[in-house]
Amino acid sequence: MPFQNAPAPLARALSARGFEAPTPVQAAVVAPEALGRDLLVSARTGSGKTVAFGLALADTLLAGAERCPPAPTPLALVIAPTRELALQVKNELEWLYAETGARIVSCVGGMEPRREASALARGCHIVVGTPGRLCDHLRRGNLDLTELRAVVLDEADEMLDLGFREELETLLDAAPKTRRTLLFSATIAREIAALARRYQNDALRLDTIGANAPHADITYRAVLANQPDMAAAVVNVLRLEEARTAIVFCHTREAVRQLQAILTERGFSSVAISGDLGQNERSRAIESLRHGQARVCVATDVAARGIDIPELGLVIHASLPSNPATLLHRSGRTGRAGRKGTCVLLVPPARKRVAERLLQAAKVEAEWSGAPDRAAITQADAERLLNAPFLNAPVKDAAETSAAGDDTATDSAAAVSARHDTSLSLVERLVATHAPEQLAQALVGLWQKSLPEPMTVRVITPDTPRSRPVRDDAGFERGERAPRERGPAMQGNWFRLSVGRADRADPKWLVPMLCKLGGIRKQDIGAIRIAGDHTLVEIASDKAERFASCASATDPDEISIEPARAPAGGGGAHGGGGRGGPGGKPARGPNRGFERKGGYREDAPWGNAERGGAEAGERRSSKPRPAGKASKSPSSRKRKSP
- Whether residues 256 and 150 fall in one domain: no
- Whether residues 181 and 156 fall in one domain: yes
- Whether residues 158 and 241 fall in one domain: no
Which DSSP category does 316 fall into?
E
**Closest CA relative to residue 111, chosen from 93, 92, 94, 128:** 128
What mean pLDDT is predicted for residues 572-598?
A: 36
- Whether residues 260 and 152 fall in one domain: no
The helix or strand, by DSSP H or E, that contains position 190, with its residue range, turns out to be: helix 190-199
- Asked if residue 319 belongs to a domain, the reply is yes
Distance CA 46, CA 329 (A): 9
DSSP, residue by residue, 457-483: -----TTSPPPPPPB-TTS-B----PP
- Asked if residue 124 belongs to a domain, the reply is yes
Cβ(145)–Cβ(77) under 8 Å?
yes
Which residues, 6+ apart, have CB-to-CB distance to 461 below 8 Å? 224, 369, 370
- Asked if residue 617 belongs to a domain, the reply is no
Cβ(159)–Cβ(153) under 8 Å?
yes
What are the phi and psi torsion angles at 388 (to 5°)? -65, 140
- Whether residues 177 and 254 fall in one domain: no
First and final C-alpha spacing in the chain: 95
The 3 state secondary structure assigned to 241-292 is: HCCCEEEEECCCHHHHHHHHHHHHHCCCCEEEECCCCCHHHHHHHHHHHHCC
- Asked if residue 54 belongs to a domain, the reply is yes
- Whether residues 199 and 223 fall in one domain: no
Q: How many CB atoms lie within 10 A of CB 332?
A: 23
Q: How many CB atoms lie within 10 A of CB 136?
A: 19
How confident is the model at residue 567, as a pLDDT? 83
- Whether residues 76 and 192 fall in one domain: yes
Which residues, 6+ apart, have CB-to-CB distance to 560 below 8 Å? 497, 498, 554
- Whether residues 175 and 54 fall in one domain: yes
How confident is the model at residue 555, as a pLDDT? 64
- Whether residues 201 and 227 fall in one domain: no
Using the 3D structure, point to which of 330, 352, 380 is the last residue of a domain. 380
- Asked if residue 162 belongs to a domain, the reply is yes
**Closest CA relative to residue 178, chosen from 141, 145, 138:** 145
**The pTM of the whole model exceeds 0.75:** no
How confident is the model at residue 638, as a pLDDT? 41
Distance CA 272, CA 261 (A): 9
Using the 3D structure, point to which of 591, 610, 634 is the last residue of a domain. 591
Spell out the long-range contacts of 47-52 with Cβ–Cβ below 8 A and sequence spacing 24 or more: 47/23, 47/208, 47/209, 48/22, 48/23, 48/337, 49/25, 49/154, 49/184, 50/88, 50/89, 50/92, 50/93, 50/154, 51/14, 51/19, 51/26, 51/92, 51/96, 52/23, 52/25, 52/26, 52/28, 52/184
Which DSSP category does 149 fall into?
-
Task: Indicate the burial class of 541 (C-beta count within 10 angstroms; 0-12, 13-18, 19 or more).
Answer: middle
Q: Which residues pair with 129 in a beta bridge?
A: 79, 107
Distance CA 12, CA 321 (A): 41
Q: pLDDT for 125-175, tens place per residue? A: 999 999 999 999 999 999 999 999 999 998 887 788 778 889 999 999 999
Give the CATH number of the domain where residue 502 resides.
3.30.70.330
- Asked if residue 116 belongs to a domain, the reply is yes
| 3-class DSSP state of 97 | coil
Distance CA 540, CA 33 (A): 89
Q: How many CB atoms lie within 10 A of CB 430?
A: 12
Q: pLDDT for 411-470, tens place per residue? A: 566 665 566 667 777 878 888 888 888 888 888 888 778 888 889 888 888 876 655 555
Spell out the long-range contacts of 289-294 with Cβ–Cβ below 8 A and sequence spacing 24 or more: 289/245, 292/244, 292/245, 293/269, 294/269, 294/270
- Whether residues 136 and 252 fall in one domain: no
Q: pLDDT for 344-377, tens place per residue? A: 999 999 999 999 999 998 888 999 999 999 999 9
- Whether residues 517 and 586 fall in one domain: yes
- Asked if residue 449 belongs to a domain, the reply is no
Amino acid at residue number 326: T
Cβ(74)–Cβ(145) under 8 Å?
yes
Q: How many CB atoms lie within 10 A of CB 68?
A: 19
- Asked if residue 582 belongs to a domain, the reply is yes
How confident is the model at residue 611, as a pLDDT? 34
Task: Examine the pLDDT at 410 and tell me if it is beyond 70.
Answer: no
Q: pLDDT for 533-542, tens place per residue? A: 889 999 988 8
| 3-class DSSP state of 161 | helix
**How many domains is the chain built from?**
3
Distance CA 199, CA 192 (A): 11
- Whether residues 194 and 304 fall in one domain: no
Cβ(181)–Cβ(106) under 8 Å?
no
Using the 3D structure, point to which of 184, 207, 230 is the last residue of a domain. 207
Task: Examine the pLDDT at 634 and tell me if it is beyond 70.
Answer: no
Range in 2-11, 367-376, 383-392, 630-639 with the lowest mean pLDDT: 630-639
**Closest CA relative to residue 54, chosen from 136, 150, 191, 172:** 150
How confident is the model at residue 72, as a pLDDT? 92
DSSP, residue by residue, 510-551: HHHHHHHHHT--GGGEEEEEE-SS-EEEEE-HHHHHHHHHHH
Q: pLDDT for 197-230, tens place per residue? A: 899 998 899 887 654 455 667 899 999 999 889 9
Distance CA 545, CA 60 (A): 94
Domain that holds residue 508: 493-591
Distance CA 128, CA 208 (A): 24
Which residues, 6+ apart, have CB-to-CB distance to 116 below 8 Å? 105, 106, 107, 133, 137, 142
How confident is the model at residue 132, as a pLDDT? 92
Distance CA 504, CA 629 (A): 10
